[in-house]
Structure 1
Amino acid sequence: MLIHIPDDAEAAASARAAIVADERLTYGAVGLLLVILDHAPKWEVSVGGLMERARDRRGDEGEGLGALRPMLDELYDHGYLVRTGRRVGGKLVQNYEAFAIPEGSEEARVHPDQVVYVIGQHGSGVVKIGTTSSLRARLRTIQTGSPVRLEVLWSCAGGRHLEAYLHDAFSPLRLEGEWFNFGQYNPVGSAQRTVEQAHLMGVR
């Protein structure tokens, strides 16, 4: 599961407060979403895994599929969860993306400071494609978990819709999450050409 939450601590806290105040959601859906958002950006979990965690915490009283499914449906309906899929070995594998700011909301539109970036090691085809409102902070966070020196190879103004367009376009090259392997091809040139196509379609 990919988890999208603002890099800035104040913005993240504001997003969580907005979730709690969202009157469209039941208390159960709010609680489930906050639990999901508290995990690492590439938390490995399935619906079955959520059920197991609930039983580990509360025994036989832990929420089963019958209880979790309506909460998940609420989150899907209001843009907090999005189903995605990619092909692995010829089979379609379903995944989920969780958003602290719901897709389609006014807040999810492109912020003036928001950019789509390509981060990686110079000369390597392995890169991360994402979006952030603070490139410097984002690079620092990603560098912490990398054994090689990373740098911002390219960026342009854009938000989550443009990021999603790039992720879909490069899905055959996906390694995991937001990481892609372009092999012998230039990831920056590929991203630039794909962004030009996206702009022609009105994706920003």
Structure 2
Amino acid sequence: MIRSSDVEKEMKLDRQIILATVQVLKEKGLSRASVREIAKQAAVSVGAVQHYYPSKDQLVAEAVAEIYIRLSRELGAMKRASAPEDLAHDTLQVLWRFYTGPDYLAASEVMMRARLSGDPGHLVGAARKALGMELFSAWDRALANTPLAGRRGHPLLMFIAATLRGLSLVYDGHENQPVIEKQLELLEHIFVESLRTGQVLGMREVEESIPPPSVSPEGGLK
């Protein structure tokens, strides 16, 4: 008979190994994330890691899933904002921290390697698909009381995520900060107007919705 304490111990050790894998991927990258390094980080034996995860591919896929679960939980834990401006700002802050942080860097390296190598067993692809559904679910909860509730808001999430991923590739944290901030302001404006209208705006609608700069009596911009 399996005791509940044994099951809890097994689950705790499994979790310990997954968290250690995420940490090693962040610190050393995929190429140096050996089972030995993961075992050392988890403070367990190599045999224990291999007992839970005979395949390193499976272990890495679970680590990628863990990274996206964290993002989903952070989105789900956001305080529900009533004003479109607050909801847009808070959501973009969460997503921007993710796409410029070490978690996403580690996950993207794994996914790129899987794409180039064919993803043996389709483990990473399956994890990514499952977590995509969870992310949409968290997004749905965040937008539940807005005109973009349900599937209507999914194109906006895909647009925002793709834009932030692109910006994160050129973000250097210093020299191009003003340019990046301007792009983030524009993205936030798109988010707010989409929430207000119930439609994901195209660039023409965005340009039309941005108020022109005011002009001083002397002819200069305010």
What TM-score do the two structures reach when normalised by structure 1? 0.35
What TM-score do the two structures reach when normalised by structure 2? 0.33
User: Which structure is higher in helix share?
Assistant: 2
User: Which structure is higher in strand share?
Assistant: 1
